[in-house]
Structure 1
Amino acid sequence: MSINRPVATALAAPLCFLTAACGSSSDGKASGGTTEAAVSKGGYPVTLDNCGRKQTFEQAPSRVVVMNGASVAEVSTLLALGLGDRIVANQQGYGMSEVPGRAAAIKKLPTGDIELNEAYDIPREAMLGLRPDLVLSVTTYGFDQKNGFATRDQLRQAGANSYVSPQGCDDDPSRMTVADSYRLLRDMGKVFDVSDKAEKLIAASEKHIAAVSATLEKAAKGTGEKKPEVMVLFSNMSMGGNDFSSVLAHGIANDILARAGGANAFSGTTRATFADLSKEKVAATDVDALVVISYNDPDPAAYAEKLLKEFPQWPAARNNTYVTLSDSMYLGPSNDLAVEKVAKMLHPDAF
């Protein structure tokens, strides 16, 4: 599937989906942290410093609008925290999820019956007509007046707070790590006074990832094996001028790969989140494994198998080594599932 430029731009800005180094997952400090919170002992008011803007919550929001931004991080975080009933309009969805029932739950959420703009998102007048008390956007793009969106100042005048997700302040997800997913959970936990639940989710994720890491370390002890080189890309998606323009080079995917005992085969091709590669460059690179990410593609496995046939010289093709994933590879509450699935693909003998 080829997506048009507005959607490609919206996708490239937020997604991980998205980034290189392993960040600390226990202290809640996202790399390049976007928010700081102050909470009174009674729970409210809560004040977030989000992209340099103070957002004060006197009570838990009850009319939440989740903008598209080609993400499911925000809506999935709210659902994981049991806050689906607070959403009056949601524009996010990937069509599938590693979490059983999540895709169906997202599909059932109200959309607000909005006529979307060219970027497949909520224009200013429609947004204000929803009477939100909180609007979530993946990046500052969702509050850009030039693109026809309600600005953060206009929302404040209408009585709504606004929130830009971690690493979205400068619309650059190339530095994003799993710690940013935890930051999003913590922030929403504070805003909705469900911090205990947020911390339990974070602790469970950390424990799961630690168990995978321990298994890998035990299996690799004394072997000195080189980390498998992995190609991570979106299924049937075009975002640039070359044959392979939806290949992730940096972002949260790299953190997930590192925790799963792998490395990004194309991280050296660009400093940007996405690499825009020729077929010749891809063919000349030794790819040990594929991670194919589905963005509303019902059959990403078929795309993976097509790639392996196209490049039979890859070790990945000789060994038929690939995995298909969706929302767990992005910013969101389920990165631990991606770590486990990728680790089992790369190191099957360890499990």
Structure 2
Amino acid sequence: MNRPVTTALAAALCLLTAACGGSADDNGTSTRTSTNTTADSTSGYPVTLDNCGRSETFEKVPSRVVVMNGASVAEVSTLLALGLQDKIVANQQSYGMSEVAGRARAIKALPTGGIKLNEAYDIPREAMLGLRPDLVLSVTTYGFEEKNGFATREQLEQVGANSYVSPQGCADDPSRMTVADSYQLLRDMGKIFNVGDRAEKLIAASEKKIAAVSEKVRGKKRPKVMVLFSNMSMGGNDFSSVFSKGIVNDILAKAGGSNAFESASGTTFADLSKEKVAATDVDALVVLSYNDPNPAAYAKKLLKEFPQWPAAKNTTYVTLSDSMYLGPSNDLAVEKIARLLHPDAF
């Protein structure tokens, strides 16, 4: 049964790609104790970032961080991967599962601030200001728009809070997002919290793992893959949560595959009829869970519904969650998909 998504949430879901990720050497260590950033929280400061055309200057390590929902887990996962969970006073991000052992549990254990979310499924202005943040993270500029009932970046600045919009969130265009954006998010958080060495180690380990996988599948035929959310409706057609563009395509390419519906839309998601899906050869299926406890059941349902697919004839599918979106764990998705598409290479 499809779970309808409101226009606001669907708009936010467009930046999951947000979504709307530890990783090669993290391996679940997001549950470890927090990194001791510096003996003096002001040592090495101030630091300045250019973010969406705004100059954000940090005078010390942020200690009251609020992570907005935005239908993402990229921001909270990045903080956990860097060992910064004790800096979070309110987190609204969760997918209920993760490819990283212990991460879903670690996210669930974070404080939420006891906030009642607004109709856009995020933190309203007065509640945000009441949290007394010194840093607010949002996956897109949408989370700082006054017309949506949110605190603006200017209003946050007036109360001494910095703000940050994740890569590609400035233009609200996730269709151009790549794995490099996940690394940029890590680097930016590393700079803000003075844990740049840790960020660079995570990035280097991820790059090394992805390069090794890509080398194994180099020159092989690229199967056509359908990537979509499990049990989710975001448009008017039967298949409205099918990925067409964005970071999933970069991950598929690195894993030796291609998106079967890349030409179906110029935006991140394609809104497709059942007939269009049935007429397309799908060699493999990647079903993504967004708080769906049983995405495998949905995958099996699709394979049964479209028996003409090569994917159905060979039962070729994998279920994933946060590793397919912006975040620190894209290397896990690359390896899992590569093993699905090219088992003989491993």
1:93-144 per-residue CA deviation (whole Å, 9 max, x = no partner) reads 0000000000000000000000110111100000000000000000000000
Partner-residue secondary structure (3-state), 2:4: coil
**1-structure distance, mates of 2:209, 2:182:** 15
One-letter amino acid matched to 1:237:
M
Query: In the TM superposition, what is the alpha-carbon distance from 1:2 to its structure 2 partner?
Result: 2.4
Query: In the TM superposition, what is the alpha-carbon distance from 1:270 to its structure 2 partner?
Result: 1.1
8 Å contact 2:18–2:139 — kept in the other structure? no
8 Å contact 1:17–1:251 — kept in the other structure? no
One-letter amino acid matched to 1:208:
K
8 Å contact 2:18–2:73 — kept in the other structure? no
Partner-residue secondary structure (3-state), 2:163: strand
Query: In the TM superposition, what is the alpha-carbon distance from 1:43 to its structure 2 partner?
Result: 2.2
8 Å contact 1:66–1:136 — kept in the other structure? yes
1:209-246 per-residue CA deviation (whole Å, 9 max, x = no partner) reads 011112223xx4xxxx5310000000000000000000
Q: Which residue of 2 aligns with 1:128?
A: 129
Structural mapping, 1:225-304, within 5 Å: 225-304=220-299
Aligned residues: 322
- Tell me, yes or no, if structure 1 residue 165 matches structure 2 residue 162: no
Query: In the TM superposition, what is the alpha-carbon distance from 1:67 to its structure 2 partner?
Result: 0.1
8 Å contact 2:18–2:74 — kept in the other structure? no
Q: Which residue of 2 aligns with 1:195?
A: 196
Query: In the TM superposition, what is the alpha-carbon distance from 1:44 to its structure 2 partner?
Result: 1.2
Partner-residue secondary structure (3-state), 2:232: coil
Q: Which residue of 2 aligns with 1:328?
A: 323
Partner-residue secondary structure (3-state), 1:268: helix
**1-structure distance, mates of 2:139, 2:152:** 14
Structural mapping, 1:12-51, within 5 Å: 12=14, 14-17=15-18, 43-51=44-52
| Aligned partner of 1:2 among 1, 4, 12 | 4
TM-score (normalizing by structure 1) = 0.90
**1-structure distance, mates of 2:176, 2:8:** 23
1:289-330 per-residue CA deviation (whole Å, 9 max, x = no partner) reads 000000000000000000000000000000000000000000
Q: Which residue of 2 aligns with 1:80?
A: 81
One-letter amino acid matched to 2:173:
D
Gaps of 5+ in 1: 19-41
Structural mapping, 1:196-235, within 5 Å: 196-217=197-218, 220=219, 225-235=220-230
One-letter amino acid matched to 1:93:
S
One-letter amino acid matched to 1:289:
A
**2-structure distance, mates of 1:3, 1:275:** 15
8 Å contact 2:168–2:177 — kept in the other structure? yes
1:154-204 per-residue CA deviation (whole Å, 9 max, x = no partner) reads 000010000000000011100000000000000000000000000000001
**2-structure distance, mates of 1:268, 1:214:** 26
**1-structure distance, mates of 2:99, 2:185:** 19
Q: Which residue of 2 aligns with 1:69?
A: 70
Gaps of 5+ in 2: 20-42
**2-structure distance, mates of 1:179, 1:264:** 19
One-letter amino acid matched to 1:347:
H
TM-score (normalizing by structure 2) = 0.92
Q: Which residue of 2 aligns with 1:23?
A: none
**1-structure distance, mates of 2:156, 2:56:** 11
Query: In the TM superposition, what is the alpha-carbon distance from 1:85 to its structure 2 partner?
Result: 0.2
Partner-residue secondary structure (3-state), 2:264: coil
Moved over 4 A (4+): none
- Tell me, yes or no, if structure 1 residue 306 matches structure 2 residue 307: no
**1-structure distance, mates of 2:235, 2:72:** 19
- Tell me, yes or no, if structure 1 residue 338 matches structure 2 residue 333: yes
**2-structure distance, mates of 1:83, 1:203:** 19
8 Å contact 1:17–1:253 — kept in the other structure? no
Query: In the TM superposition, what is the alpha-carbon distance from 1:5 to its structure 2 partner?
Result: 2.5
8 Å contact 1:233–1:248 — kept in the other structure? yes
**1-structure distance, mates of 2:94, 2:315:** 29
